[in-house]
Amino acid sequence: MLLEQHSVRLIICYTRLVKVILSRKGFDSGCSSHPSPILHDGTLLSFPIPAGPDSEIKYSDITTENKVKYSVLLEQLGIKRPNPQGFCHLDPDIRKCSFPREKGWKPIFGQAGAAQTHLANNGVKEGDLFLFFGWFKNTLGIDAELQFDQADKHGKHVIFGYLQIGKIINTKINNVSCWAGYHHHTKPTLNKRDNNTLYIATDHLSWNQQLKGAGVFKLGENLILTKRGSSRSTWELPKELKGVDITYHTRQNWQGDIFKAASRGQEFVIAENPKVERWAKSLFENAAQ
């Protein structure tokens, strides 16, 4: 009996914390120079970046939950087609309704090159949590009258989605499931890289079986990173993150209670910390869809 109790204590002791990665995705100043829209109902609709023709997916192939094509939204918002053919890099692909799915589909995210090396070097593993953020701006109107709200001058960085890692696949070493064959990271341009990697979502969040392992958020104040009234890279982070190591940043990025986010870098890996884990889990209390 004493031995059994001791074993239980050891299991609890070695339970690994969830590592959190803030992952910059979608349109930004370096790609299209336009933000993604926040729709009237709080939907955070991240526009994927443009891609070459081997992606096989166009903006006209992706739709909202109401079956409005992304290409139509781009036109309504006055955003010129990012490339002549209209191909895009649908990644992360976490919104089930956006594209036709084959049987067995799971939310998926791909990474390669220096950004993937950064994730690997910082020990990102199965069970860790990507929080995807991007540049967003409020909109006015609906359907054919959609336009950016000029009162939202700079826009803001907002966490729009998440993916808890269920499986990590290096495509140069492992076979990829048939259902994932549509994804850009399975195509020649990206797949030729030695560290081309796919992150497949868990079926459910490890700490809440009622929520899916990946998905999108509706807008909430706790998802907005940018300090109100400031430029979008001036963040007001929760107190749980103060003093915690975040890659691409140093302690000098903190100026009092303000955090000056790096303008470069895709993957900001936050050091494992119980407070950070509690903060990340708290985001799902009201906003997960």
| Residue 193: inside a domain | yes
The rounded radius of gyration (Å) of the Cα atoms in the chain is 19
Q: Would you state the pLDDT for residue 81?
A: 75
What's the helix, strand, coil split of the chain in %, to 5?
Answer: 25, 30, 45
pTM of the model: 0.92
CB-side neighbour CA atoms (13 Å) of 238: 14
For the cut 80, the answer to whether the pLDDT of residue 86 exceeds it is yes
| Residue 3: inside a domain | no
| Residue 69: inside a domain | no
Write out pLDDT tens, residues 11-25: 444 468 999 999 999
Q: Would you state the pLDDT for residue 202?
A: 98
Q: How far is CA 127 from CA 205, 215, 246, in A?
A: 9, 15, 19
| Residue 65: inside a domain | no
Report how far Cα 41 is from the mean position of its chain's Cα atoms.
20
Q: Would you state the pLDDT for residue 285?
A: 80
Type and span of the H or E element at 280: helix 274-282
* Whole-angstrom distance, CA of residue 64 vs CA of residue 59: 11
Which range of residues forms the domain containing residue 129? 18-27+91-135+153-282
| Residue 78: inside a domain | no
Domain total in the chain:
1
| Residue 258: inside a domain | yes
Write out pLDDT tens, residues 42-69: 999 999 999 988 999 999 999 999 999 9
User: How many CB atoms are located within 10 Å of the residue 38 CB?
Assistant: 23
